[in-house]
Chains A and B, each alone.
Chain A
Amino acid sequence: MKDAGLASLSINGRPVEVASDPGRRLSDVLREELGLRGTKVGCDAGDCGACTVLLDGAPVCACLTPLGRALGREIATVEGGVAEDLQASFLRHGAAQCGICTPGMLMAASALLTRNARPSRGEVEAALGGVLCRCTGYAKIVDAVMATATAAPALPKAGAAVGARVERLDGRPKVDGSESYGADHVPEGALLVRAVRSPHVAARFALGDIQSWAARHGVQVFTAADIPGENRFSAIPAFADQPALARDRVRMRGEAVAIVAGPPEVVEALDLATFPVDWSEDTGLRDPDSAESAGAPQLHEDRGGNILTRGLVRRGDARAALAGSAHLAEVEVRTSFVEHAYIEPEAGVAWMEGDVLVIRACTQAPVMDRDETAKILALPPERVRIIPAATGGGFGSKLDVSLQPLIGLVALRSGRPARMVYTRRESMASTTKRHPAHMQARAGADATGRITGMVFDGQFDTGAYASWGPTVAVRVPVHASGPYRVPAYDARSRAVHTNNPVAGAFRGFGVPQAAVAQETLFEDLALAAGIDRLAFRRINALKDGDRSVCGQELWGVGIDDCLAALEGPWAQALAEAEAANAQGGRIRRGVGVASCWYGCGNTGLPNPSTVRAGITREGRLRLHQGATDIGQGANTVIAQIFADALGVDLASVELIGPDTALTPDCGKTSASRQTFVTGKAALLAGQALRARLLALANMGDEASIAFENGAVVLREGARSRRIAPAELPLDVLGYALSVEETYDPPTSGLDADGQGVPYAVYGYGAQVAEVAVDLDLGTVKVLRITAAHDVGRAINPALAEGQIEGGIAQGLGMALMEEYIPGRTENLHDYLIPTTGDMPEVRSILVEKPDPEGPLGAKGLGEHVLIPTAPAILNAIRHASGARLTRLPALPHRVRAAIREAAP
């Protein structure tokens, strides 16, 4: 009866023996005992569905299934349990971005398709409702399930990759379950590492008798005292303030005070509540108003008034301009902490290779990880190698180091591989969030609807440590005008420390919050001026040659093109809403519009990317592409640009990296910079290599280049020339022929009034949201979003649409449901992100107004896409119901209260 010994399972039609306890989660048995790591774990609680497998054909969460229940039944997993045409369809439709949800999606879809080969959209949505995806916005996943029979498009010809809907080059492993994420690589004999974390928001602590505790449990313990280097880090070195392990004081919940390492079965079984630590709890500062109040205790000694940084952009006399305006409007808005909620909690493993510490973990910024880890562990940077694992979503949070220094410390000290996998709760409690903002803004317009001036003030809760708080404080005033002509402007921001979670980078660095204030403010002005709301925005849209609020002369400005593209959808949406509302009833339709602009790359600071390309002696073409692809598509887009610049077939490009030992620095995957900055470096590298080959062959620019049977063949007219790399001497980089090109966007620092050239390239966009509001329940259903985005040049339209749909899903979540409350929503059932059933139809319009600086005219897109969504939805809610929301998210109870206020 009491089961011990081996038990038999049938997995994907094959019998398998397992030794595990029958009470274990099937997900854990599959992954850790059987090495079937295609099944993912995002929560261990049934909330994310990443672990979905089929039990006798029915989808279940493997994390909620005890092994004992699966005995004698047929288990299907992504490794062998999915039809090839479904996998191919996912690839073709771009249904996998980061790919961490893909195995669960594939399994849920397989179960549906077995029952129902031609499901409706609604049936697909219901069948996939239990699998969360944070990247795609679901549309392409649903498309892929509905159209498994469509044929794959032909590969583009040499020189025609840019602009083609090329399938993700790194997509195959994402759809067959073989992609290896942070938790999926487990070296033999790896120690398991767990962290002891603070249950308090603020406390002093003293560690007790650790040695006996460790000895009693047969584990090793490491604390701040074991850290050989500088025990503080930050995304921005000048603000380094966050300890890898706290020494005697914690400033937030979830802060690590010690790590425990040992054999996996021992460490897993530990009850960390018994760890000897004495806490003396402080009240802590729970909100920025108390943190700013006189006499408030200070979180960091050198940061008076708990102010981390301030930002300011000032141009003209805004207050005077407002005083003389025909129309005035004013808003005050608060937003909440927003959790990134990538489906992959932080995970990774570290080991020693000779005297080099190798860390393989999920990340968005390998070189920053290397430098910060090296500093903490007192190693020279060359003795730390970062191999980014496939990353299951990042959205800004995986720019900061998390477990890297911790597993690095254990590997360095023990000489053994050390592995750490955050629980969902640990991930949510200890990593960064979007800044909650409290914003006040005023603006004026003249009688013809032209904006005269704007004043903006934003307080951003930056939490316990600096992270990207300074960047948010700088970006917000630069962008708070929106993509509009604002002749007189005064925008201020400040990042305030509290004992809340660290607020860091999250898609848009504070600009999405600022856009909520600005776009609802301009909505008021349009209404006050009695001008159609879209027309009002067009009247004020920036045009080529205009100056921004920073005084920068702008070219390649596509906002009016985006707004113009929305005229038709806007008119139709308004007419449909009016017709629907004419029927009466308590469900009212509404339409709203909002714009965005966003500068690509660091603000007024250097941020170069270097791309290397080489031809091996065997005649293979290698592209060292150091931009981490966290699902957004850098691997594909950068290769497309490079292939066209060189003039070769995309299929002949082999991708190398990213890996700090193999790829030059392409900077971090943030600030929507990779397509622009790394793309430009790739363009230059492709052009340089082409020039070298043309010179060698003595041919003109009309020549074609092909890699054929170990040689490079150039043809021009009737002439053809064969270059045999095997005959060339190897260069210093070990190639027969190689090039390395660096691009750094031309920007200049901002002066005391925020004047200067903060970015070399901006992207623009605007979205129309159509909603239905239930006047009695306050629920909001978003029916459709039409999104026009100026990408300059759509390098890969399918990937661009994927970014738009995914960004809109995050914007919708921020608008309607996402609110992180420390200690209360540290899981994915209390913290809600959109499911398949919450997404509206998304219609994407790609506008291509070339940028003079961007590669082939291209601009960034990754962050832009979510900026207009929340304000467009809020403006639509207002149009439908009169409700003016002043607090995000617009949860039903808040919407209903606002409706009551508008029409008592």
Chain B
Amino acid sequence: MGAYLQPRDLDEALRHLAQGPLTVAAGCTDLFPATERQRLAGDVLDISGLAGLRGVSRHADGWRIGAGTTWSEVIAADLPAGFDMLKAAAREVGSVQIQNAGTLGGNLCNASPAADGVPPLLALGASVELVSASGARVLPLEEFLIGPRRTARRAQELLSAVLVPEAAGASTFRKLGARRYLVISIAMVAARLVLREGRIERAWVAVGACSPVARRLGALEARLVGMGAAEVAGLEPGFLEGVLSPIADVRGSAEYRLGAAEELVRRSVGELMEGRA
């Protein structure tokens, strides 16, 4: 039977990690479903007791969300409208039970293509902070997520926080699934806009579950600048073709996913323009 370590502070946790590979356990909502056993496999480092990894704070250079912050805590946090999409995504994660245990950091480290936290954080231009006994480094989220279930985290590192430089504008999140609760996304879209006189001045748009890693859509964002509501509604069918590479699986065909993602983009951006978000 493996060890079960419950460090009291970050330094202690990092010392353990420096000594050899450990399974980092946060909310365990991804770890436990991956096994049929009654015990987590291997040597476990339970980081849920680390107060320093939790909570949301405002700093001169932006916001810091501790990696151990649960989805419920994200929902309850006092954050500006630019974060509405992250809160909306949090409300869509599984169920209340999952939101009470699952963490932002676990969602990112698990790196599922359908992770609901990723598109909103991409559309917030987030970076991640990784710490180890030998220091800390910050990576843009795009560079941290390198593939389905693959991240740039090194074995001795912990993901300590998500850093958001600015959160101007209003934002929204749309998730499409085959049922209401406890559902894995067929496609999801996070969008954030700064408007000026009914036209888009700046846009951030990211799509999940339609590529191996959720994608921020730079070209589309550039195209959206200057558009009014009618032009957004009129975005032509196929405008994301070649940009996204959805797969076909039990949840939907590739062609359907692409069309749905396009429609979710039209609706999310359109809704923000009408101020309905």
Contact = CB atoms under 8 A, between A and B. Distances in A.
B25 A817 contact: no
Contact of B95 (A49, A821, A891): A49
A369 interface: no
Nearest to A827: B33
Interface in A102-160: 108, 111, 126-127, 129-132
Contacts of A2: 3-5
A64 B4 contact: no
Interface string B95-123: 11110110000000000000000000000
B46 A66 contact: yes
B52 interface: no
Interface string B68-87: 00001000000000000000
A46 B179 CA distance: 16
Nearest to A423: B36
A285 interface: no
Nearest to A824: B250
B250 A44 contact: no
B137 interface: no
A897 B141 CA distance: 36
Contacts of A127: 96
B39 A24 contact: yes
B2 A61 contact: no
Contact of B25 (A66, A836, A896): A66
A303 interface: no
Given A49-B97, A52-B97, A129 B180 contact: yes
A409 B40 CA distance: 32
A835 B94 CA distance: 11
A45 B97 contact: no
Interface in B228-277: 250-253, 256-257, 259-260, 263-264
A24 B2 CA distance: 11
Nearest to B256: A893
Given A46-B98, A60-B101, A892 B28 contact: no
Contacts of A591: none
A682 B201 CA distance: 77
Contacts of B179: 817, 832, 834-835, 837-838
B252 A892 contact: yes
B32 A129 contact: no
B1 A777 contact: no
A399 interface: no
B229 to A, nearest CB: 15
Interface stretch (B54-62, B146-154, B182-190, B214-222): B182-190
Nearest to A71: B6
Contacts of A3: 4, 6
Contacts of B5: 1-2
A130 B48 CA distance: 22
A832 B180 CA distance: 10
Given A1-B5, A777-B260, A63 B32 contact: yes
Contacts of B180: 129, 835-838
Contact of B263 (A25, A58, A111, A776): A776
Contacts of B260: 777-778, 892, 896
B97 A59 contact: yes
A837 B92 CA distance: 12
A490 B33 CA distance: 50
B203 to A, nearest CB: 21
Contacts of B37: 268-269
Contacts of B1: 21, 23
Contacts of B72: 58
Contacts of B39: 21, 23-25
Nearest to A31: B38
A56 to B, nearest CB: 10
B4 A66 contact: yes
Contact of A892 (B29, B178, B250): B178
B116 to A, nearest CB: 14
A64 to B, nearest CB: 5
A24 B1 CA distance: 11
A22 B36 contact: no
B32 A45 contact: yes
Interface in A840-898: 891-893, 896-897
Contacts of B18: none
Given A23-B4, A835-B180, A838-B179, A61 B97 contact: yes
A892 B32 contact: no
Given A28-B38, A835-B181, A893-B252, A59 B100 contact: yes
B139 interface: no
Contacts of A24: 38-39
Contacts of A45: 32-33
A803 interface: no
A830 interface: yes
Interface of A: 1-3, 21-25, 28, 44-47, 49, 52, 55, 58-61, 63-66, 68-69, 108, 111, 126-127, 129-132, 268-269, 423, 425, 776-779, 816-817, 819, 821, 824-825, 829-830, 832, 834-838, 891-893, 896-897
26 contacts: A23-B44, A45-B33, A46-B29, A46-B97, A47-B33, A58-B100, A59-B96, A59-B100, A63-B32, A64-B101, A66-B25, A66-B44, A66-B46, A132-B182, A425-B36, A816-B178, A824-B250, A825-B250, A829-B182, A832-B179, A835-B180, A838-B180, A892-B176, A892-B178, A893-B253, A896-B256
Given A45-B32, A65-B101, A126-B96, 8 more contacts: A3-B4, A28-B38, A49-B97, A129-B95, A130-B95, A130-B96, A131-B95, A892-B252
6 smallest A-B Cβ distances: which pairs? A130-B95, A837-B180, A129-B181, A893-B256, A45-B33, A835-B181
